[in-house]
Structure 1
Amino acid sequence: MKLFFMSDIHGSAFYLKQALAAYEREGASTIVILGDELYHGARNPLTAEYGPKEVTDLLNAHADHILAVRGNCDSEVDEMVLQYPLMATYSILMHEGRRFFLTHGHIYSENSLPPLAPGDVFCYGHTHVPRAEKHGDIYILNPGSIALPKENTPHSYGVLEGDLFTVKDLNGTMYKQIRFTE
């Protein structure tokens, strides 16, 4: 099973269309969204083609393939218009015998990890900076932001296939990669 990870859409129909084209190109079965779907938030600029309603329609067209967690810019109103559950601050995903802790990153973060076991994977968004690293006996993944990347990183998403996680720019060029070896 191939999983497609994205985060921090922030209401950008322009970048979501590109990310969904990448999802189709990758042939993934599931879209994992790590928060901040519809709104830009008070600290962020408006995104290209800012359109929460259009973003809602685009995401709802894929609702049966989406697993999502709530970000700091998401609200209960968002769950009323999106046709998939959104309000959990975290979710647990088992993939090929490995536990993935999915969250946005504003409550749990690298500096405030939840209880994890050796070999577990901590997946988050929020920082808008891609990560694919191992810290001690825990893997740290962040697909970056499709709409508002920071620290001179590309507009990016992540793909998990087997034991390989790859961060790619929206054109599909590899940016970072890590293989789970435990």
Structure 2
Amino acid sequence: MKLMFVSDIHGSLYYCRLMQEIWQAEQPDRLILLGDLLYHGPRNDLPRDYNPKGVIAILNEMKDEILCVRGNCDAEVDQMVLQFPILADYLMLMLKKRTCIVTHGHIYNKDKLPPMKKGDILLHGHTHLQALEDMGDYLYINPGSISLPKGDDVNSYMIYEDGIFTIRDLEGRPIKSMSIFH
């Protein structure tokens, strides 16, 4: 199974179009969106080509390919215009017999863990900072932000395939990878 993870589009039509092009090139089985789809949020500058209506059109074209969790900038009014569910606080994936808890990061994160077993994976966005870290009892993974990276990070997305998470820049070049087998 091949999965593509994207976080924090924040209404950027430019980066949403790039995401769609990358998705077409990567051909994953599913696109998993980690929230903050349409609104830029009060703490962020406007992203490049801020156009939530344009983002809505692209995401609705892809609705059958998307799994999504709710970000702190997502609201019920956003659900009214999007044709796929966006209001779940988390979703769970089974990846090679490991439970992966996928969330945005504003409710559950490294500082406030969800109920987890040793060996589980916590995967979230929200911070706009890339992470592939072995925390001892669990793996912590964050693809960074496709539209508004923070720190020294570049715009990024992530692919999961054959037990390996790889964060990539928007040219598809690997930035860092981690195997869930160790």
What TM-score does the superposition give when structure 2 sets the normalisation length? 0.97
* 1:21-76, Cα deviation, whole Å (9 max, x unpaired): 11111121100011100000011011111000000010111111101000000000
Partner of residue 164, structure 1:
164
Equivalent positions of 1:123-134 (< 5 A) are 123-134=123-134
1:94 equivalent in alignment to 2:94 = yes
Equivalent positions of 1:1-182 (< 5 A) are 1-182=1-182
- Secondary structure of 1:158 counterpart: strand
- CA distance in structure 1 between the aligned counterparts of 2:143 and 2:82, rounded to whole angstroms: 22
- CA distance in structure 2 between the aligned counterparts of 1:15 and 1:75, rounded to whole angstroms: 21
- CA distance in structure 1 between the aligned counterparts of 2:133 and 2:163, rounded to whole angstroms: 13
Q: CA deviation at 1:97?
A: 2.0
- CA distance in structure 1 between the aligned counterparts of 2:124 and 2:82, rounded to whole angstroms: 21
- Aligned AA for 1:174? P
- Aligned AA for 1:15? Y
- CA distance in structure 2 between the aligned counterparts of 1:74 and 1:106, rounded to whole angstroms: 12
- CA distance in structure 1 between the aligned counterparts of 2:112 and 2:123, rounded to whole angstroms: 13
Q: CA deviation at 1:95?
A: 2.5
Structure 1 unmatched ranges of 5 or more: none
Structure 2 unmatched ranges of 5 or more: none
- Secondary structure of 1:160 counterpart: strand
- CA distance in structure 2 between the aligned counterparts of 1:111 and 1:96, rounded to whole angstroms: 26
Q: CA deviation at 1:137?
A: 2.3
- Secondary structure of 2:159 counterpart: strand
- Secondary structure of 2:109 counterpart: coil
- CA distance in structure 1 between the aligned counterparts of 2:97 and 2:36, rounded to whole angstroms: 28
Moved over 4 A (4+): none
RMSD of aligned residue pairs (Cα, Å): 0.9
* 1:64-109, Cα deviation, whole Å (9 max, x unpaired): 1101000000000111111111111111112232211011011111
- CA distance in structure 2 between the aligned counterparts of 1:29 and 1:70, rounded to whole angstroms: 21
- Aligned AA for 1:146? I
- CA distance in structure 2 between the aligned counterparts of 1:80 and 1:97, rounded to whole angstroms: 35
- Secondary structure of 2:39 counterpart: coil
- Aligned AA for 1:58? I
- Secondary structure of 1:81 counterpart: coil
- CA distance in structure 2 between the aligned counterparts of 1:20 and 1:94, rounded to whole angstroms: 25
